[in-house]
């Protein structure tokens, strides 16, 4: 099942991928995940080497390198989820097995969405006919638009409430950029929808990265929780919304942040339904990696000691929820759609 990761420069994509790998390792080795195991994964030796080295760098206090412009990086895993019932032949697999392929491109490959000078000129002159030319996008960007599972990384470190400051302007520019990205996805998928509704359907996930850098004053001003860790996860499925318990959920928190500070992005996501492209069933997760200063005053990933072993201090449960989300998606997506979207990457 191909999964496209979209995000601006320095939004935390490479760190996100390394923490996803870290979570796969932890999930598999969790003491609660005994016997046949609730979850297992495997991967190609080359991907193991790449992601294992990034994990080692983080543990050593070094941040991962950014994806280079023009690169379409591919990371491929095979996920196994324990079957609810194992009936029939005893030799049959005890796992529901899913191929999980992550595609990542550099934030610089999305820069065309910032300029669009040719469209500004044609709009000003009255010659623009409302036809966005996808050929102007990089080949890597166009490849990612073919995917049905789309993960959008939204950088919370850019949130700022002080109007008429440079940082506020940067936040607004970032919001417009992400909204333009959402709009591009909606337009591309709406064109595909005309001939193949299954290929146009999307399974969106929003990851709010760098929660650790969201200013506490912002949280206080909005009467928001200082952490998302204790919040309930919104119930999905047949009985969603029937529970009498109506507490503030993690999804509520994510939507509140987006609506308040990334309003254009949230609005364009809601508007996708008008192009037969629905973001209304998006999943929301938080990514947070705690940091500390080293002896040279540099900010590095923080480690904690768990049962005598040093571990990265990050939002592990959110990443496990993200992994489990793909079992739900795999059950809904037609097999022919999953199989069609494999394309070449640079890794």
Q: What is the chain's pLDDT, residue by residue, as a tens digit (347 residues)?
A: 788 888 887 788 888 888 999 999 999 988 676 555 688 999 988 888 888 888 899 999 988 765 544 455 788 898 988 876 555 545 456 888 888 888 877 666 677 777 765 566 666 677 666 677 787 787 888 888 888 899 999 999 999 999 999 999 999 989 998 998 999 899 888 887 677 776 678 899 999 999 999 999 999 999 999 999 989 876 544 444 444 446 789 999 999 999 999 999 999 999 999 888 889 889 999 999 999 998 988 899 999 998 889 999 999 999 999 999 988 888 877 665 555 545 555 44
Cβ proximity of 155 and 10 under 8 Å: yes
Question: What six digits make up the tokens of 263?
Answer: 């309003």
CA–CA gap between residue 347 and residue 50 (Å, rounded): 9
pLDDT of residue 238: 40
Q: Are 285 and 273 in contact (CB under 8 A)?
A: no
Question: How many whole angstroms separate alpha carbon 85 and alpha carbon 332?
Answer: 19
Query: For residues 60 and 48, what is the distance between their CA atoms, to the nearest angstrom?
Result: 18
What is the pTM (predicted TM-score) of this model?
0.86
Reported in sequence order, the residue ranges of the chain that DSSP labels E, i.e. its strands, are 2-6, 39-43, 72-82, 95-105, 149-155, 203-209, 283-286, 291-293, 299-301, 303-306, 309-312
Side-chain-side CA neighbours of residue 272 (13 Å): 31
**pLDDT of 70:** 45
Asked if residues 316 and 26 have their Cβ atoms less than 8 Å apart, the reply is yes
Contacts made by residues 28-33, CB under 8 angstroms, sequence distance 24+: none
Per the listing, tokens 């990761």 go with 5
First to last CA, the chain: 17
pLDDT score at 230:
87
DSSP 41: E
């Amino acid at each position: 099942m191909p999964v496209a990761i979209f995000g601006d420069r320095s939004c935390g994509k490479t760190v996100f991928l390394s923490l996803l790998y870290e979570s796969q390792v932890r999930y598999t080795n969790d003491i609660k995940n005994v016997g046949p195991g609730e979850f297992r994964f495997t991967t190609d030796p080359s991907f193991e080497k790449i992601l294992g080295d990034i994990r080692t760098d983080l543990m050593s206090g070094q941040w991962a390198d950014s994806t280079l412009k023009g690169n379409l990086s591919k990371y491929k895993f095979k996920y196994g989820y324990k079957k609810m019932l194992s009936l029939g032949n005893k030799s049959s697999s005890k796992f529901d097995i899913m191929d999980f392929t992550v595609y990542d491109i550099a934030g610089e490959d999305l820069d065309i969405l910032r300029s669009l000078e040719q469209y500004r000129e044609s709009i000003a002159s009255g010659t623009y006919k409302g036809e966005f030319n996808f050929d102007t996008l990089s080949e890597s960007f166009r490849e990612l638009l073919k995917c049905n599972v789309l993960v959008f990384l939204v950088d919370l470190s850019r949130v700022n409430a002080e109007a008429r400051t440079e940082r506020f302007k940067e936040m607004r520019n970032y919001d417009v950029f992400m909204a333009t990205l959402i709009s591009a996805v909606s337009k591309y998928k709406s064109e595909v929808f005309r001939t193949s509704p299954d290929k146009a359907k999307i399974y969106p996930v929003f990851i709010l990265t760098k929660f650790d850098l969201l200013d506490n004053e912002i949280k206080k001003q909005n009467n928001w929780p200082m952490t998302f860790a204790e919040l309930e996860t919104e119930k999905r499925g047949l009985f969603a919304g029937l529970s009498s318990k109506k507490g503030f959920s993690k999804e509520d928190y994510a939507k509140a942040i987006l609506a308040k500070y990334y309003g254009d992005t949230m609005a364009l996501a809601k508007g996708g339904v008008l192009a037969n492209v629905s973001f209304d069933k998006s999943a929301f997760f938080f990514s947070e990696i705690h940091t500390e200063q080293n002896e040279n005053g540099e900010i590095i990933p923080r480690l904690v000691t768990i049962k005598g072993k040093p571990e990265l201090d990050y939002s592990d449960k959110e990443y496990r929820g993200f992994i489990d989300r793909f079992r739900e998606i795999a059950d809904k997506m037609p097999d022919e759609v999953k199989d069609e979207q494999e394309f070449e990457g640079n890794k």
